[in-house]
Each structure stands twice: as structure tokens, then as C-alpha cells.
């Protein structure tokens, strides 16, 4: 399992790298669960990574705007992100998801076929009215996405594991793998959740709050990244 840590600036990126993060995921929590940061921040973190680690960038928690999302995805790819991550927040049907993802994938892959597209749904989809994570893998694979992910839309301290059972998470991971994609699990993950994560074994685990000391608005701490990395081993 690879540890994805979500810095908001160069200083946090350096702390995440020093702590042993496997992927740097540039985001802006002020704009939501998968809030987008600025192009120059993505470029600066990519510069810090210097090819030693892949860089991911979130482009937002989207409603049904395929054109807007495609432009944002291309901007993230151009700015240096290796993984471009989109959240399907207000996408209600597989048809809408298909239209969104097919255009986003095209915008990224036509620019650089080596870039990877991450399609994210939300474990707490019922309370925000979005598509279920269980409906995502089939559509994401059909559209050419490389990674499927589950996160929490509302950051109120409740974790993905409060909205999805272990068997559902295993089913989600298996579906992604069966369709040839990698699978990432995030959503207010805490240190106490690592035992469960070791059992279900996704490819990528995404964190921010846990390595900020429990408050995602605080700063990423190198020692907490190192501790989480060690606990995943």
C-alpha cells in the first residue's frame, strides 16, 4: 500500500516527503474535500518532488460540468501533476459520470498519455445526493480512468468506514482490480483505521487530517507521516 499525503504548499510537501510519503497530492481544503489548488502551487510541489515522487492534484468536487472539469484537468496536467483527481460530487447517474469522465480522460490523455486520471466518489454519497461508489468502477474503467477512489464529501470527523462496511469496501476494491484499475481509499482516515486498511489492502491510502494531528486545517507534521508509513508496513 502506498501512502498519499495531501499538502497545500511547498513546506507541507517537504514535510510529507521527509516523512516517507509515496505520493504528494496537492489540494486546497478550503474549496472542499477535493478542492483545487492553484497551478503555481502544483508546479512548485512538482519542483520539490523533482521526479522522486509522483505528484497528484485534485481539480474539485464537481457537479455536472464536463467542459469545465476537462479544462481544469488539462490545467492540472500541464502544471505538472502525474495523477489528476476529480470528485463526482453532484453526479447522480452513471450516464452523467460517463459523460464527465470520458471527456476528462480525453483532455488529459491527449495532452500526455502517461498522465493518470483518478475518478473519486464519496462514501457518504447518500447525504450529498451523489452517485454511489459501487456504481463507479464500471463507468470509470469504460472511460479509461486509471484509478478509482472513495473519499468523504463532508469533513465533519466521520470516516469512510462509518458509511461503508468492510465487505462493501472489499467489493469496491475487487471491482476496481477486476477492471484493471488501481484503487485508493480515503475519507478522514485515522490511525485506528489502519488495521482495517491492512486487511482490505487498497493500492493507495489517502490522508491529510491524521498527519496534521487530527485537524486538517493544521500543518502536516513529518513525524506523523513517518509514523503512519511505519504503521502501514
Residue 90 appears among annotated catalytic residues: no
- Closest by CA to 8, choosing from 19, 17, 30, 23, is 30
For residue 182 the three cell numbers come to 488501481
DSSP letters spanning 27-38: --GGG-TT----
Which residue is it, cell 484493471?
Answer: 180
Residue 109 appears among annotated catalytic residues: no
Using DSSP, state whether 59 is helix, strand or coil.
strand
Selecting among 30, 85, 115, 221, the annotated active-site residue is: 85
In whole angstroms, what is the distance from residue 223 CA to residue 201 CA?
23
- Closest by CA to 80, choosing from 61, 54, 113, 59, is 54
Selecting among 14, 27, 90, 192, the annotated active-site residue is: 27
Question: Which contiguous run of DSSP H or E holds residue 91?
Answer: none
- Residues with a catalytic annotation lie at 27, 85
Amino acid at each position: 500500500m502506498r501512502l498519499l499525503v495531501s499538502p497545500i504548499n511547498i513546506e507541507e510537501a517537504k514535510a510529507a516527503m521527509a516523512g516517507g510519503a509515496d505520493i504528494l497530492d496537492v489540494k486546497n481544503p478550503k474549496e472542499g474535500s477535493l478542492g483545487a489548488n492553484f497551478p503555481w502551487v502544483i508546479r512548485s510541489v512538482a519542483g520539490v518532488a523533482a521526479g522522486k515522487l509522483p505528484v497528484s492534484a485534485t481539480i474539485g468536487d464537481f457537479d455536472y460540468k464536463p467542459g469545465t472539469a476537462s479544462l481544469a484537468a488539462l490545467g492540472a496536467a500541464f502544471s505538472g501533476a502525474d495523477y489528476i483527481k476529480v470528485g463526482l460530487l453532484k453526479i447522480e447517474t452513471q450516464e452523467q459520470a460517463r459523460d464527465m469522465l470520458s471527456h476528462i480522460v480525453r483532455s488529459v490523455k491527449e495532452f500526455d498519455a502517461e498522465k493518470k486520471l483518478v475518478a473519486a466518489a464519496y462514501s457518504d454519497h447518500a447525504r450529498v445526493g451523489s452517485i454511489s461508489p459501487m456504481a463507479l468502477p464500471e463507468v470509470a474503467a469504460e472511460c479509461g480512468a486509471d484509478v478509482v477512489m472513495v473519499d468523504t464529501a463532508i469533513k465533519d470527523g466521520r470516516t469512510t468506514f462509518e458509511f461503508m462496511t468492510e465487505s462493501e469496501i472489499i467489493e469496491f476494491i475487487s471491482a476496481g482490480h477486476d477492471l484493471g484499475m488501481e484503487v485508493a481509499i480515503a475519507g478522514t482516515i485515522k490511525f485506528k483505521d489502519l488495521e482495517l486498511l491492512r486487511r482490505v489492502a487498497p493500492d493507495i491510502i489517502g490522508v491529510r487530517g491524521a498527519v496534521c494531528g487530527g485537524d486538517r486545517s493544521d500543518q502536516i507534521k513529518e513525524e506523523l507521516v513517518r509514523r503512519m508509513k511505519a504503521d502501514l508496513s
